Each structure stands twice: as C-alpha cells, then as structure tokens.
Structure 1
Amino acid sequence: MLEPGQVLDNRYRLQKKIGQNSSRQTWLAISLMSQQQVVLKLLTLNPQIQWEEHKLFEREGQVLKNLNHPRIPKYQDYFIIDNLPGSRFPWFILVQSYIDGVSLQELLNQGQRFSESQVEKIAVEILNILVYLHSLEPPVLHRDIKPSNLILGKDEQVYLVDFGAVQDKAVAEGATFTVAGTYGYVPMEQFAGRTEKASDLYALGATLIHLITGTHPADLPHQNSRIEFANLVSIDVGLVNWISKLTEPNINDRISSANDAITALENKYTLSSAITNHKPKGSKIQLQKTANHLEIKIPRRGGKSLRFLYLMGFVVALLPQITNIIINTSRFWSYPNVIYASLFFGISVVFLYFLDIQICILTTITLKLNGNYSGFVFGEKLV
C-alpha cells in the first residue's frame, strides 16, 4: 500500500518504514519543502481500531505541538489523507522532526552493557526532560519511558521520543482511563488508571535496571513487587539504593519528583532535606550502622535532673546537722553525728551515681532495622 518513494500530500517523500502494527505505520521521510528528514506516524481509522487509540494519537499531536525542549522531537505537521491508494479508510498523519541516532534498546540487542557512569549520565539527562514536562501546566506525563523510546543521538545526548501514551493531568482527572505503557516498566498504580509524576520516575528506574543488568525488568526476580537486581551488578551501593528508591512499588515510598531525584543523585544518593529529616542539633539519639542493620539508641530523658534531685534531697535531710555544726563550731571535729552523716552522705552519693547509670541502661530504647528495611533516618541510609 505504502512504498518507498511515494509522496504524501505533495510534501513528504517516503524513504523507509521503521515501524508497523495492525493500525499504525511509522516512516522515515524527506520533507520536500525543507529537504530535512522527518518522521511520519500514520494511524488508520479502520473498524478494528479502538476509539481510545485514536484519542491517544490525537493527544500526542496536541501535546507535541505545545512542547519546546531540545531533547524532544519537534511537532511539524498534522493532516488527514482520505484517498490513500489501496485503502478504504482515512489515515491520520503526524509529522515530527527526526532524531538521528540509535535507540538504547538497539544497543541492548547488540549486546552492549552500560557502565555506572553511562547510566548516571542517561538518568540525569532524562530527569532534566521530566523536570520540564512535569513543570508544565498542566503537567505532561510520558507514561511509556523504556529503552526503545530513548534515542542516543549523534551528539551523544539522549532524547525522549514516542509520546503515543502521553497524558496531561487535566485530561486524566475524572476521565475514563486507558492502560498505557509497557509491561515491566509500568508501576502498579498505572495499571489501575492512576498516573502521577512518580510513575514516570518508576519507568525510568526500571529502564536503568535494564541498561545496567542487560535483562528486561519483567524477567528479573521480584520480592514483594520490588525488582531484585542488586546482586546482579557491581556498582556503587549508593546508586543501587537510588534506583531502588525510584522503583518502590508503593508510590508513597517512591521519590516523588524529578528535581528531588536529581538532587539525591548529585548528593551521593542521599535524599535531600526536602525528603528526609536530619538529626536535630543537640539530639542524644545515637545511630550505628553495620553491614546489615542500622541500630538506633534513644536514651532515657531526665537523667541529669534526676541525679540533681537525689543530691538535693540528701542536702535537705542533712541541713539540721549542718546548722548544728555552724552553731557549735567549737565541737565541729568531735561531733560524732557529723562523721556518721558525712560517711552516709558520701556512700549514698556513690551508690546513687551508679544506680543512675543502671537506670540509664535499663531505660535506653534500642531499635535494630535489618537489611530488609530500606529507608533514611536523620539522613543515614541503611545499606
């Protein structure tokens, strides 16, 4: 039906088909006006197509038209062809700029494994794109971040493409939902029709896991819905923890914004003060980390004041004897009660001092968080 060399709408000459399914085709073409390569995405309105698919296609064009970011393809045109040879149905055609490069999925298919530094670079570049998308009003959610939608350009920069699953929050509120995204990269809330900014972060985290392990995240072991990958890689434990925080199954436990994710990565993978509470000045709480647990010691309060009350009580009890000494100064060294009282006072002070230490030990609260717990306490990360 469509062939290389064919001209559509007297403006675009088809060069090469780069994608196809039952209702869609994607072609690399030449714009006859600009002589630049462009990408044509075509959708046919045949009886087999779901109306939601058509809505997504239109939404992609509408969203792209309003985006302006150097790492996102530029919207160029949108038109309909009713008389395409060999077709009884109209075709909707979206034209966007062509990104000259190779997808990260193609590199994975070629056997490439990405280093720690490469993964960090890719993460920061995509997060910067998400900062832009999520800061729009309303926020734009990509909903399908995965290696095949990340293009490594000739300029060594990473581009985010294919906004076919895109959604803005204004459309999402109160609307019926279509499950969009790709299995293995989609968080649980997205399957339920709830998509948030943190949903894109999960997809990014799952993508990074794929890049650094070489294995599709759906094929990796899972425990309590968490992707288990740490024992498959030899990278900084901080980066492992950071990626794990991006891919928390519960959206409330996940890093919530692209800005926070960048800050956490730049600060040696420690979540920023916007996410964690740091140890208050003067706090007596002690933190002790080992290889597999974090120990928190919370001492009892009021120890010093309690010892002070002990001493004051004995001073008051001995006050009559002290007064008697002052009145009868000539009998000071021979006064037997003073000797007995002094000995009793000294022994009592020593006894109470050690008793106070015992009380301190008995009332100190110690918490041990084992290796299955992942969290931050006063900025301390359990590893």
Structure 2
Amino acid sequence: MVAENATVGKRYRILAQIGKGGMSTVYLAMDSSLNKQWAIKEIRNVSDSAQRDLVIKSLTVEANMIKRFDHPAIPRIVDLIEEKNSLFVVMDYVEGRTLSSILKKEGPQKESDVVDWGVQLCDVLDYLHRRRPPVVFRDVKPSNVMLTPEGAIKLIDFGIAREIGDDRGERPLLGDARQLGTPGFGAPEQFDPDGEVDARTDVYALGATLYFLLTGRHPRKHKMVPIRQVRPELSEGLESVLAKATRKNPDERFQSCAQMAYALKHYKEEDQAHRDALLLKWRGFLATGIASVVCLVLAGGSLLMANHAQNSDYDYWMGQGAQTSDDTQAEAAFVKAASIKTDSAEPYENLIKRYTADGSLSDREEQTYNSAITEHMADLQRNADTWAQLSFDTGKMYWYYYDGTRMKGDAANSEGQNQQDQQDQQRYARIRAASRWMHNAAETQGFKDANVARIYADIADFNTQIVPLINEGSDAGRYKPYFAKLNDLVNNAGKENNEVIRLEAANLSLDALRVYPRKFRADGVSKEEMRVLADAALDLANSSNTTTDELDQRKKEAENAYKPALEAISNAFVDIKGDAK
C-alpha cells in the first residue's frame, strides 16, 4: 500500500485511496508534470514469477490496445510503472460507481435507466466492432461498467479484449486468444473450444448485463427466464429485446450492437398495449383505407402516390423545422424528417446549424444528434461524398462547440487547477470526441475537403496519443509534424468567416507553443518559426470580429496567452548554463 503524499514514478503524487480489490488498490494522484489528476491502480506483488510475467504482459497488451482508441466512454491507460515491488497502472480518473455496486446497494434498477445505459454501451461496443481490425470486448458485465454523476457510461478493464485478424489469418491477434469470459455473462461460444467470438459475443454479454440490472438475478446462479416472470411490470417489448440478445445461437441474436441499440430505443413499440392500440386504430380506419386503395388502384398510381406521400411528409417536417423559431420544435421536426428519409444528410446539417447557433452543443443536444445519426448510419454511408461532408461538419461541431459535462470531466474533478489548465483539458476532450468524424472525412477518396479533414484528424491523433508516448519516452519526432499541422490549421482558419473557428485555432496553437516549445526545438523547429506561428495566431485572434461576451472572452484568452507563449519559446532556447541559443 502506498502512503498518502508519496510519489510514484517521480511525478505522480498520491492524494487518496479511492478503491480496493482482491489483487489491486486504486489511488487518486496528481501529475506534477501536467498538473492533472489520474487514477493509479497498484497491482500487488505476485511472488510467482511466471504469474507476474503474465500479469505484466496482459496489462501491457491492454495499454497498447487502449491508447489507439478514441471514444469518450473508454478511459485511457497512459503509463505503466514498476516500482517498490509493485506494478502501477496510470489511467484516466473517472468519478462514479460501477453498475455492480449500484445494483448491490439499490437492487434492481428502473427500466428507463437500464435502457439508457444499454444504448450507451451499444454505442461504445459498436465503435470497437467497427474498428479495422475489429475489437471484441469479451467481458461486458456490471462490474466493468462505470456510471458518472452526469449519467455517462464508461467501459473499463480491457484485460481480455481481443483484436480479431483478417480472414486469412495473416494478422496476429492482440490479446489473449483463449476463450475467456465471466460465467453467466460470457456467451456460450466463449466457453466452447471450437467457438469463434465476434460482435455477437458482446451482444450476448450486454443482454445478460441488462437482464441482471433489471431483475437482480445473477445469470450464472439463476437460469435466465423472461424478465416479466421476475418483474411483471416490466415491458413486454424489452423482454423480447433481451430474449433475442441472449439466444444461444449467435445467428439468432442481433447481428450488431447498432441493431440492438435501435431495438432498445423502440422497445415500447413491441408492447402488447401498443399493438392493441394499433389494431383498434386499424379497425377504425379500415373502411377509409379500403376506399383509398380502391381509388388509387383505379387511378393507376398507387406506387407513385406512396412515394409522393413519403416525400411530402419529409418536406413537411423539413419545412416545420426551418420555419419555427423554437429550437426544441425544430429539433423534433428534423429528427422526424431524418427517420423518414434515412439516407438524407439534410436533417443533420440543419441540426448542426441549430445546435451551433448559440455557440454551445449541450449534452442533451449531443445525445439526440448521436442517437439519430447512429440509428441511420448505414443508410447515410451509401453516398460516400455526402457522408464525408456530414462527418466533416459533425467533427467541426464537436471540435469547436461541444460544451457538455462529459467534456468537462477531468477539469470538474481537479481541485487546485487554474482556469487555463481546465480550459485546456476541455479543449483536448472536444478534440478527442471529434477525431473519428474527421477520420471518416479524411479517409473518403475524392472528398473536396479531405486535406483539411486530415489536418484535424492528425491534430486529434497527436493529442490523443502524446501522453502515453511521453511516458514511454517514444515521443521524439512527433512534434515537428504536429507543428506543421498547427500552421496549416491557423492558415485554414484565416479563410473562415466563423469567429469561433478562428479563435479556437488561435488558442490551440498558442497553448501548444506554451506547453511544447522544448519538444518542438528538440525536433528541429527553430525559435523564429515558433514566433512566426505565435504572431500568426495572435493576428488571427485580433482580426476576429467578436459580437458576444463568449467570443470576447475567447479573444481575450488568445491575447493573454501570447506573452506566456513567447516567454516559453525563449526559455526553450536557453541551455543548461543559462546561455541563450
């Protein structure tokens, strides 16, 4: 056990113990180099050298896998330290409780909460499954899911996650290839010597997890029965969703987490009460319907009329969204339009305009947007150019406007940090959220703004990967390309009429010059080049026409950052003896 105020790895000061398990103790620590809080898990000393090597190998594989991920629901592992006969794992600090601890303390959970958690887990699991190559988590269960005070889900413990190679077997597997899993939650194929795991394996585990949260009955200790046999008040539609997710045969389950997310969002439509209401409605309008069909057949244009009706509905809701001044009504109208023409990007582009008009994308807005676009993603991707443009615009929305509680995570939990450090952390969290959208746009061949999207994607990659690389001592050579991308960002922002984009580009560049000038110098960037970038960033900020208090504040931030950036640049070119170079 590490004492309070002790230092691990010469930089992490232990603040408090925040958790304890059979093999590990978890501490809250302050990073003296980055002035940031991390969680540090201490793995107790294992006397068996073979077992210890296995533990170290497993943690190393997990860390290398996670540092390539970029999803707000996946906490990062940034450092591994062997010290004082213990192994320390440094990771993102997540304030919250595991779903298993919530279940133990409070008992079976509300249906609406469990469905919300399930949809969030579908999103992060679908992100893993869509990677190239795909990643199967293999251990979804309540103890591996944390819930933050804001209601956001975090997926933890990638110890047995598996990266699946291509069909030819030419790519090695990352992670333990054995059929591991937790009895009760693991799918049957995980315990079959000849079984093969894929996305449907995680679908099963997610279904079992939601079953446990709703009923309080552990799937291993009690046979999984229909949930309404345990709690009759639960939804028949939800019972159907979980029954399908936990079928023994993978072919009979949802074939992806995106499919399961859609089912969870619409489970009430399967309820008997809903079907009864539809039946009554059908009977009430049966005569009218028959007459209408006869008329259409006689007119010889039934198919044409049906298509016209759909287009009319779509146009109606798009018109409603465009005409109303009420943001909530406009949002509902555009979401409705998106559900009618599922391959149209127009409703989402209108949502982006609405959401960014006030300079801030809230958590509620982000959840509505993400839910809608995820549901219809496959249809939207059919048109590569349209999808690339929508991805690019979505990425810019996250990059410049997302101001929800999830983006404030570390800053809100870090006492003693100055305002600048909190703003920096929030900025980099937004950048990470935008990353996958910028990659979508950058990787679409022929997209007109692919080069600009690549600038954003590369900057996001740098900010996502640099902390682990610094800790590994393998960050050399990364800074000069990043410096070039910052120059490109400032140049492109100068062509924009959007003041938010101009000011954010200026502040990001000045912040990098304040934090990394010695790293830039080590990679061959000259003092003059850094000063030129600082001047360009300040000019960009000063030439921005601010019309709101928020923009005034961002402009002032850039002006205030300019002098510290120049001082940091000058200090970076002072050698050990104090002679300026």
Superposed counterparts of 1:154-303, under 5 Å: 154-170=149-165, 177-192=177-192, 194-222=196-224, 227-233=225-231, 234-268=233-267
Cα distance in 1 for partners of 2:160, 2:175 equals: 15
Cα distance in 2 for partners of 1:172, 1:241 equals: 38
Paired letter, 2:158: F
- Deviation digits for residues 283-341 of structure 1, max 9, x if unmatched? xxxxxx9xxxxxxxxxxxxxxxxxxxxxxxxxxxxxxxxxxxxxxxxxxxxxxxxxxxx
Query: Corresponding residue for 1:318?
Result: none
Query: Corresponding residue for 1:47?
Result: 48
Cα distance in 2 for partners of 1:93, 1:192 equals: 34
Query: Corresponding residue for 1:3?
Result: 3
Cα distance in 2 for partners of 1:174, 1:145 equals: 18
Q: Given the superposition, is the C-alpha separation of residues 172 and 236 from structure 1 closer, same or farther in structure 2, using an over 3 Å criterion?
A: farther
- TM-score, with normalisation over the residues of structure 1? 0.61
Q: Any idea what SS the aligned residue of 1:30 has?
A: strand
Identity %: 27
- The CA deviation at 1:4 is 3.0
User: Which is worse superposed, 256-265 or 116-125?
Assistant: 256-265
User: Which is worse superposed, 211-220 or 121-130?
Assistant: 211-220
Q: Which has the higher contact order (CA 8 A, sep 6+)?
A: 1
Cα distance in 1 for partners of 2:119, 2:78 equals: 27
- The CA deviation at 1:98 is 0.8
1:60–1:164 CA contact under 8 A, matched in 2:
yes
1:38–1:98 CA contact under 8 A, matched in 2:
yes
Cα distance in 2 for partners of 1:58, 1:176 equals: 12
- Deviation digits for residues 209-244 of structure 1, max 9, x if unmatched? 11101222212225xxxx553301221111101011
Cα distance in 1 for partners of 2:175, 2:266 equals: 39
Q: Any idea what SS the aligned residue of 1:110 has?
A: helix
- The CA deviation at 1:175 is 9.0
For structure 2, the residue ranges without an aligned partner over 5 or more in a row are 166-170, 271-278, 280-581
Query: Corresponding residue for 1:339?
Result: none
Paired letter, 2:136: L
Cα distance in 1 for partners of 2:100, 2:191 equals: 23
- Deviation digits for residues 149-208 of structure 1, max 9, x if unmatched? 211112211111121222111377599733433221111111236321111111111110
Instruction: Work out whether 1:104 is the aligned partner of 2:99.
Output: yes
Cα distance in 2 for partners of 1:256, 1:148 equals: 25
1:59–1:166 CA contact under 8 A, matched in 2:
no
Paired letter, 2:220: A
Cα distance in 2 for partners of 1:172, 1:178 equals: 14
Paired letter, 2:151: E
Cα distance in 2 for partners of 1:127, 1:96 equals: 23
Query: Corresponding residue for 1:277?
Result: none
Query: Corresponding residue for 2:29?
Result: 29
1:264–1:270 CA contact under 8 A, matched in 2:
no
Paired letter, 1:107: I
Q: Higher Cα Rg: structure 1 or 2? A: 1
Alignment: residue pair count: 260
Instruction: Work out whether 1:68 is the aligned partner of 2:70.
Output: yes
- The CA deviation at 1:258 is 0.8
1:52–1:178 CA contact under 8 A, matched in 2:
no
Cα distance in 2 for partners of 1:148, 1:20 equals: 12
2:140–2:185 CA contact under 8 A, matched in 1:
yes
Cα distance in 2 for partners of 1:173, 1:154 equals: 36
For structure 1, the residue ranges without an aligned partner over 5 or more in a row are 272-288, 290-383
Q: Given the superposition, is the C-alpha separation of residues 51 and 183 from structure 1 closer, same or farther in structure 2, using an over 3 Å criterion?
A: farther
- TM-score, with normalisation over the residues of structure 2? 0.41
Root-mean-square deviation (Å): 2.7
Query: Corresponding residue for 2:133?
Result: 138
2:162–2:175 CA contact under 8 A, matched in 1:
no
1:220–1:228 CA contact under 8 A, matched in 2:
no
Cα distance in 1 for partners of 2:200, 2:118 equals: 14
Cα distance in 1 for partners of 2:124, 2:176 equals: 27
Query: Corresponding residue for 1:295?
Result: none
Query: Corresponding residue for 1:56?
Result: 58
Query: Corresponding residue for 1:338?
Result: none
Paired letter, 2:241: W
User: Which is worse superposed, 236-245 or 111-120?
Assistant: 111-120
Higher helix share: 2
Cα distance in 2 for partners of 1:246, 1:26 equals: 34
Higher strand share: 1
- Deviation digits for residues 94-144 of structure 1, max 9, x if unmatched? 211111111111111112431121111111111011111111111112111
